[in-house]
């Protein structure tokens, strides 16, 4: 394969995607050589850059250290030419007899395939993760891949300036500036960079950049020699191995400040440790003396509060209005009558009677708002500001004086369920921080009022989109997949990655909120349960709570709940997102099946694509959707042990090579008919798309499962498109 520009022949060789998985006309994505600045290859979608390789070194592109892995370097030879006649990149297979394909697919991914052992295998593709997507973190910021997500961090000497990235904190002065080294990264976009191959040493490159006041960063990039940047540094990412070093221009005071901090730390740390040791010894002596005086020597560390938080006696806090938690003095707390058990917060003080006493464990710092501020923000809890309501009370939209939009949960004064939910949600959300969970901004406890202040979600809840035919058209396949992945990551954090292991117990589309960019965030932790890391994962309750249609069968029938209960709810949501139908509002001709039963029936008959929402156009990738349908059916298996964990679900979504376990029939319950479409109607509505994802075969191939298998093999090999400019 050869990509690039031939100046003599006036030809540009590039890969162009298909329009869709089944439409071979030229699509939106182009894989091509960029010749402005320092040459590199990039992927474009119309006029938007979505990925770039970084400049070429002697053996690889700086943005793809994986090219040096034996899994790739043993198969391919790479070469790069840049002169006055041409700029081109060439790959050749070392094994000339091996059949191979280079594909720019319709979803925006460049892939390398080879025919190995009788089947096609995809052994290399880009973009590979979130940080590979162009300018993911904004300018002067580094994207770092995490376990199932990514994080952004400003370069040294820069601070956050919102979603646009980072800006310099201290102005440069040119003559006294110094350079800070940033290791193992993808070099910035070179569209406006300059290369000088005559400067072949790092010292020469630094000397040249330091004398040029407009030079803001430099790096050595193989045959390109010394590369320098004069503007914002865009599309940076870190690598755990490989990558290149970048030297960023900083004010001299940045280094002086760093050295000063190190000196202060060297002096202050020993003093602090000594002081803490003295405090511990004093506390121990006082504790022993107190124990002897009472005739009791406390040896159980539970009394010193196993959790690193504060126990608040709410009746005592009420009279203080909405102070910040740190302002409450020690005399305001009495822990002798409090008890923390699992995530249930109880008060055992019988003398409190009608004071609605409660103990709340708050880990960390929580902002407080006074009632007057909340009333002003919500127009005195106006009906026009009402967003919704539940067992806890009502949710209102508000706007603070600084213009920030908020959502306010107002506890109903007459709801015991709401009181429990309020205490539970206050405890949980204050300690859970993830991009796919709704963020708690603060709270207010004043008089009889109990308020939670949450971030406002501009697009409301997911159910408003997937069930509404006028709204669902906004959710193309890629957006639905992103929502599914976001929910999965949020659940994985709750189940495994957070400090508290949490079972949500009421996961449903109305509890999935969407921000202005349609990113999903899990909300409503009122009936969630916390478990210690070593606790048994299956528990029972005599009072199952939740929402019919999303409750796992073992929980609905026997009150048994576990992390797999949330997995079941997630599977239902996945099938609803794909179909645009409610699980309990669905009928199939004369046999009233729920959505799960209908999806399984179509799967067994090889007609899974018929379940898709009519709002989806025909450009969806059939293999991805079939994989999602099967993953959803795995999550709703009748027995909890047959369902995957959320870690396995995320792996299924992230990797095409993840093996899926065999399907068993899910729980099939009678549906409550409310105008749901019959299977006949769905088949009619999806006929065009279903045919578009099919190929005419002889009539004796009656099984559509055979057709699907044939389609899967065929659609792995879209043709390579080559466009020419000029002659």
pLDDT tens digit sequence for 657-714: 555 666 776 655 433 333 333 333 333 334 445 444 443 333 333 334 334 433 443 3
d(Cα 280, Cα 638) in Å, to the nearest integer? 54
Instruction: Supply the pLDDT for residue 261.
Output: 59
Task: Compare 146 and 377 and report the one with higher pLDDT.
Answer: 377
* Residue 302 neighbours by CB under 8 Å, 6+ apart: none
* Candidates 3.30.200.20, 2.60.40.10, 3.30.930.10, 3.50.50.60; CATH matching 310-456: 3.30.200.20
For residue 515, indicate whether it is catalytic: no
pLDDT-derived band of residue 557, with 50, 70 and 90 as boundaries? confident
Instruction: Supply the pLDDT for residue 366.
Output: 64
Q: Where are the beta strands (DSSP E) in 382-536?
A: 386-390, 393-399, 405-411, 440-446, 449-455, 501-503, 512-514, 520-522, 529-531
The dotted CATH code for 463-694 is: 1.10.510.10
Highest mean pLDDT among 226-230, 261-265, 310-314: 226-230
Lowest-pLDDT choice from 192-206, 458-472, 528-542, 548-562:
528-542
pLDDT-derived band of residue 643, with 50, 70 and 90 as boundaries? very high
| pLDDT exceeds cutoff 80 at 205 | yes
From residue 613, how far is each of 74, 112, 185 by CA, in Å? 44, 32, 42
Q: pLDDT (tens digit, 9 = 90+) per residue, 269-288?
A: 777 888 888 888 888 887 77
| pLDDT exceeds cutoff 70 at 521 | yes
Instruction: Supply the pLDDT for residue 680.
Output: 33
* DSSP annotation string for 346-399: EE--GGGGGG---EEEE-S---B--HHHHHHHTTTT-GGGEEEEETTEEEEEEE
d(Cα 121, Cα 124) in Å, to the nearest integer? 9
Instruction: Supply the pLDDT for residue 682.
Output: 36
Q: Is 316 exposed, middle or buried (0-12, 13-18, 19+ CB in 10 A)?
A: middle
| pLDDT exceeds cutoff 80 at 512 | yes
| pLDDT exceeds cutoff 80 at 262 | no
Both tokens of residue 568?
């079941």
Q: What is the mean pLDDT of residues 533-549?
A: 62
d(Cα 521, Cα 505) in Å, to the nearest integer? 16
Fold topology of 151-257: Hepatocyte Growth Factor (3.50.4)
| pLDDT exceeds cutoff 50 at 415 | yes
**To the nearest whole number, what is the mean pLDDT of the chain?**
76
User: Which residues in the chain are classed under CATH 3.30.200.20?
Assistant: 310-456
Q: What is the dihedral of CA 551, 552, 557, 562, to 10 degrees?
A: -110
% of the chain beyond a pLDDT of 70:
72
* Sheet containing 440-446, strands listed edge to edge, beginning at the edge strand earlier in sequence: 386-390, 393-399, 405-411, 449-455, 440-446
| pLDDT exceeds cutoff 60 at 320 | no
Instruction: Supply the pLDDT for residue 636.
Output: 94
Closest by CA position to 536, among listed 560, 504, 517: 560
Peptide bond into 251 cis (omega under 30): no
Closest by CA position to 291, among listed 516, 283, 637: 283
From residue 118, how far is each of 52, 121, 274, 655, 713 by CA, in Å? 33, 10, 69, 21, 11
Instruction: Supply the pLDDT for residue 254.
Output: 82
* DSSP annotation string for 52-68: E---B-SSSBTT-GGGG
Instruction: Supply the pLDDT for residue 394.
Output: 86
Instruction: Supply the pLDDT for residue 5.
Output: 92
| pLDDT exceeds cutoff 50 at 364 | no
Instruction: Supply the pLDDT for residue 646.
Output: 95
| pLDDT exceeds cutoff 70 at 133 | yes
Instruction: Supply the pLDDT for residue 174.
Output: 87
pLDDT-derived band of residue 232, with 50, 70 and 90 as boundaries? very high
Task: Compare 662 and 484 and report the one with higher pLDDT.
Answer: 484
pLDDT-derived band of residue 420, with 50, 70 and 90 as boundaries? low
Cβ proximity of 445 and 539 under 8 Å? no
Lowest-pLDDT choice from 171-175, 277-281, 615-619:
615-619
Q: What is the mean pLDDT of residues 111-119?
A: 82
Q: Give the global pTM.
A: 0.48
Is position 211 annotated in a ligand binding site? no
Q: What is the dihedral of CA 308, 368, 331, 426, to 10 degrees?
A: -50
Instruction: Supply the pLDDT for residue 355.
Output: 33
Highest mean pLDDT among 354-358, 371-375, 593-597, 666-670: 371-375
User: Which residues in the chain are classed under CATH 3.50.4?
Assistant: 151-257
User: Which residues in the chain are classed under CATH 1.10.510.10?
Assistant: 463-694
Encode burial over 471-510: b for 16+ CB neighbours within 10 A, e otherwise.
ebeebebeebbbbbbbbbbbbbbbbbbbebbbbbbbbbbb
Lowest-pLDDT choice from 149-158, 168-177, 352-361, 612-621:
352-361
| pLDDT exceeds cutoff 60 at 589 | no
Lowest-pLDDT choice from 603-607, 619-623, 656-660:
656-660
Cβ proximity of 66 and 142 under 8 Å? no
Residue tagged active-site, from 235, 506, 566, 613: 506
């Amino acid at each position: 394969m050869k990509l690039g520009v031939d100046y003599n022949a006036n030809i540009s060789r590039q890969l162009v995607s298909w329009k869709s998985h089944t439409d071979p006309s030229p699509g939106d994505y182009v894989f091509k050589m960029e010749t402005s600045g320092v040459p590199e290859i990039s992927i474009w979608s119309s006029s938007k850059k979505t990925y770039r390789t970084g400049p070429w070194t002697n053996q690889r592109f700086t943005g793809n250290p994986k090219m040096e892995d034996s899994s790739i370097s043993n198969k391919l030879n790479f070469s790069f030419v840049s002169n006055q006649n041409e700029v081109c990149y060439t790959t050749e297979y070392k094994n000339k007899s091996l059949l191979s394909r280079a594909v720019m697919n319709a979803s925006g991914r460049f892939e390398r395939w080879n025919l190995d052992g009788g089947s096609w295998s995809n052994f290399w593709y880009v973009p590979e993760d979130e940080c590979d997507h162009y300018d993911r973190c904004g300018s002067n910021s580094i994207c770092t891949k995490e376990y199932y997500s990514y994080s952004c961090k400003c370069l040294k000497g820069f601070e956050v300036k919102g979603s646009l990235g980072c800006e310099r904190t201290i102005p440069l002065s040119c003559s006294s500036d110094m350079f800070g080294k940033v290791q193992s990264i993808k070099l910035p976009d070179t569209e406006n960079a300059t290369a000088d191959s005559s400067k072949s040493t790092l010292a020469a490159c630094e000397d040249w950049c330091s004398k040029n006041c407009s030079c803001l960063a430099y790096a050595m990039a193989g045959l390109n020699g010394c590369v320098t940047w004069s503007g914002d540094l865009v599309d940076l990412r870190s690598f755990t191995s490989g990558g290149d070093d970048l030297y960023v221009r900083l004010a001299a005071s940045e280094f002086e400040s760093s050295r000063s901090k190190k000196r202060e730390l060297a002096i202050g740390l020993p003093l602090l440790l000594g002081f803490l040791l003295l405090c511990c010894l004093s506390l121990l002596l006082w504790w022993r003396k107190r124990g002897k005086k009472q005739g009791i020597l406390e040896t159980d560390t539970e009394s010193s509060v196993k959790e690193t938080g504060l126990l608040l006696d709410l009746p005592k806090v009420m009279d203080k209005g909405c102070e910040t938690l740190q302002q409450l003095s020690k005399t305001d707390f009495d822990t002798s009558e409090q008890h923390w058990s699992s995530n249930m917060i109880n008060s055992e003080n019988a003398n409190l009677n009608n004071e609605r006493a409660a103990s709340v464990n708050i880990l960390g710092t929580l902002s407080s708002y006074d009632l007057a501020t909340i009333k002003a923000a919500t127009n005195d809890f106006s009906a026009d500001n009402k967003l919704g309501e539940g067992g806890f009370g009502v949710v209102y939209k508000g706007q603070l004086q600084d213009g920030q939009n908020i959502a306010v949960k107002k506890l109903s004064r007459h709801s015991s369920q709401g009181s429990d939910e309020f205490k539970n949600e206050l405890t949980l959300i204050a300690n859970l921080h993830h991009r796919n969970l709704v963020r708690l901004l603060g709270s207010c406890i004043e008089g009889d009022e109990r308020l939670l202040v949450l971030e406002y979600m501009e697009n409301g809840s997911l159910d408003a989109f997937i069930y509404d035919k006028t709204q669902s058209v906004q959710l193309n396949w890629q957006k639905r997949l992103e929502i599914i992945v976001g929910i999965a990551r949020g659940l994985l954090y709750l189940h495994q990655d957070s400090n508290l292991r949490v079972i949500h117990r009421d996961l449903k589309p109305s509890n999935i909120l969407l921000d202005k960019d349609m990113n999903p965030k899990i909300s409503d932790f009122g009936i969630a349960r916390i478990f210690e890391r070593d606790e048994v994962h299956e528990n029972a309750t005599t009072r199952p709570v939740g929402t019919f249609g999303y409750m796992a069968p073992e929980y609905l029938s026997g009150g048994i709940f576990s992390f797999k209960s949330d997995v079941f709810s997630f599977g239902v949501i996945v099938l609803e997102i794909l179909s645009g139908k409610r699980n309990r509002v669905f009928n199939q001709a004369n046999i009233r099946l729920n959505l799960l039963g209908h999806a399984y029936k179509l799967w067994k008959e090889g007609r899974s694509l018929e379940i898709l929402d009519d709002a989806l156009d025909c450009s969806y990738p059939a293999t991805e959707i079939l994989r999602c349908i099967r993953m959803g059916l795995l999550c709703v298996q009748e027995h909890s042990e047959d369902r995957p964990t959320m870690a396995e679900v995320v792996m299924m979504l992230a990797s095409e090579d993840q093996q899926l376990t065999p399907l068993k029939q899910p729980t099939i319950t009678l549906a409550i008919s409310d105008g749901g479409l019959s299977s006949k109607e769905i088949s009619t509505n999806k006929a065009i798309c279903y045919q578009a994802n099919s190929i005419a075969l002889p009539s004796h191939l009656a099984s559509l499962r055979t057709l699907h298998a044939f389609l899967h093999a065929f659609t792995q090999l879209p043709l390579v498109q080559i466009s020419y400019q000029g002659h």
